[in-house]
Amino acid sequence: MPPEKFSPLISAIFSRRMLVALVMGFACGLPLLLTITVLQAWMKEAGVDLTVIGLMALVGLPYTLKFLWAPFLDRFTLPFLGRRRGWLLIAQVALIFAIGGLGLTDPANNPWMVAVAAFLVTFFSASQDIVADAYRREDLPDEELGLGSSLYVNGYRVGMLLASGGGLIMADHISFGAVYLIMAACLLPGVLTTLLTPEPPTPLGKPTTLREAVIDPLVEYFTRAGALWVLAFILFYKIGDTMASAMTIPFYLDIGFSKTEIGTVVKLFGFWATIGGSLAGGVAMIRLGIKKSLWIFGILQALSTAGFVLLARVGYSVPLLSGVIGFENLTSGMGTTAYVAFMAGITNKKFTATQYAQLSSLMGIPRVLASAPTGFLAKNMGWDYFFIACTLIAIPGLLLLLKKTQDFQ
């Protein structure tokens, strides 16, 4: 890269905007597994019935339904800190108290109080997600959306790792209640960032009525050229990767890998490969742009899924597993970064919170619906043909990039 090109890139990477994206990603990622992995471990240890533990999954509904109250956050501005930072501060402070409150509950004697506290955690966490996504879109110029999205995604993953891995390790030495109080304190850097970072500009204005906040984002989006094609692209771009991922753990066990090997190679090595892929994807998008990156990263994602076909044919091989996992996580990190940046880029800044919440909720549909039949398919097709199918099903998402709509430009 020529020296004159190198300096602006370094300046972009180490800018205030990128640091804010990283910290906000961490603050949004940390609460997620506190109501899933860590809470399940706590309730199991406390002797709570498995049926009740399973029903606790319902407290995660706010993450799926956050588009319902996103228009309210677009419409109203609090009398302090501005349109985005005011709501962000309220969500973060409420989230800290909700996590701390969850840590003070008693799963053994009052599991339903645990459910109420966990629901408050997910509600305020989803609210933080809404405003943080809107802030990132409005704070970053279009050419920095890729890099900013990669740092946000990596911060999110580090937050999840601290909550799940760190939380479970700490719970072997201190009480779960103390773990939750420590995790609540870990959100203070997010609060400090909210207080210190400037409010992003809103050149397109904001909705002046609730009707504008609820209806106009939909009208504005669906009157664009190619709107339905873009929605189809969002649904199909990562569907092959998603389907393959849903069955990887049973696949590894079936061909002879131990749980220790899976934990070491897949989880630890794979985590850092994903981080590297996200960073590499973010830097590459500064030069390539979002559309070209979606093409390149999408093809690499499909090729990485094909790597599982090779592993299915060869069978047990730790070096091959490491290579397949490294390449799959690297390309998945790149693809996710481009995917998130694309969704941010097509939102209208007048309705950022609402449109991004709607699109991100839509993004979660393939994770549920496409993953559901994967066990049946793998059982009846065999592992190699199952992964071949997952590779081929990525093609429609790539072909949708051929549509010359204004949103892909």
Q: Which residue has the higher pLDDT, 365 or 230?
A: 230
Where helices occur in 56-110 by DSSP H, the ranges are 61-65, 70-75, 85-103
Average pLDDT over residues 121-131: 93
Please report the DSSP string for 113-173 in residue order.
HHHHHHHHHHHHHHHHHHHHHHHHHHHS-GGGHHHHHHHHHHHHHHHHHIIIIIHHHHHTT
pLDDT at 186 over 50: yes
Q: Write down the mean pLDDT value for the chain.
A: 82
111-139 and 37-45 helices, crossing angle to 10°: 170
Average pLDDT over residues 49-64: 77
pLDDT at 372 over 70: no
Q: Do domains 3-201 and 215-408 have the same CATH topology?
A: yes
Per-residue pLDDT band for 407 (boundaries 50, 70, 90) equals: very low
Q: Which residue has the higher pLDDT, 343 or 317?
A: 317
Measure the CA–CA gap between 124 and 184, rounded to whole angstroms: 13
pLDDT digits 0-9 by tens, 202-212: 766 677 777 77
Q: Residue holding tokens 């004159």?
A: 4
* Domain assignments of the chain as residue spans, ordered by start: 3-201, 215-408
pLDDT digits 0-9 by tens, 294-308: 888 888 888 888 889
Was domain 3-201 assigned CATH 1.20.1250.20? yes
Residues 396 and 379: beta-carbon distance below 8 Å:
no
Return the CATH architecture of domain 215-408: Up-down Bundle (1.20)
Highest mean pLDDT of the ranges 261-265, 303-307, 359-363: 303-307
